[in-house]
Amino acid sequence: MPEKSGWVAYASWTNSGSSPISYFTTTWSVPPVPATDNGQTVFLFNSIEPASYKAIVQPVLQFGPSAAGGGSYWAVESWYVVGTQAYYSNLVSASVGDTLTGDITLTSTDGSSYNYVCAFENIDGTTLTVTGADQLVWATETLEAYQITAASDYPSGSTVFSGISLTLSDGSNPPTSWSAVSDPNDGLSTTVNIDGSEGAEVTINYPS
């Protein structure tokens, strides 16, 4: 029986202050390859969306196929999806155990128009420039999945999003309380281990 699709487990925080998010960084490791391959797609990422939730900027680790390509292996790329349009950087293969750091940076503003850069640190080809976007306010640490037919379509163990840091354009680190969403019916759980906007940590546990 197919399991839940889409955003199956995540933690999030909304910036409701007057100063926009200028920098959002997260570090995690490439998990084991899933034990079974049923054509599923697994995405792991940190992201920011506008208040409308109609766009997203995200440095993504994926297993399986996507619009950017891919297959039965881990790969990384940066995405900007707005409405029905998807923009993405080069797809770069990644190895199990690799340490990834995904950054989203506000580079400039012009009235209500915001420009960002999204990239994985030290991975050439993953930089994506976003221009003319709405202000991004909803920050997340997310597991997104499609075509999951068995628990073994997920990696084993857990993914720890660590070193989570948010900086505002006024240079401050905002008071941040992460809200966790889980999918207990499918054995997925999200735990906020360390709260805040400096060195925060979120764990997503896969089905055992």
pTM: 0.97
- The span from the CA of 54 to the CA of 38, in Å, is 30
Per-residue pLDDT, 120: 98
CA atoms within 13 A on the CB side of 52: 9
Distances 100 to 4, 13, 93 between C-alpha atoms, Å? 26, 21, 12
Cα gap 4→145, rounded to integer Å: 8
Domain boundaries, the chain: 6-205
The domain 6-205 is placed in CATH, from the list 1.10.3710, 2.60.120, 3.30.1760, 3.40.1440, at 2.60.120
Model confidence pLDDT, tens digit, residues 92-108: 999 999 999 999 999 99
Do 8 and 144 meet the contact criterion of CB atoms below 8 Å apart?
A: yes
Tens of pLDDT, residue by residue over 108-135, are 999 999 999 999 999 999 999 999 999 9
- Which residues does 25 contact at the CB level (< 8 Å), separation at least 6? 46, 101, 102, 103, 104, 163, 164, 165
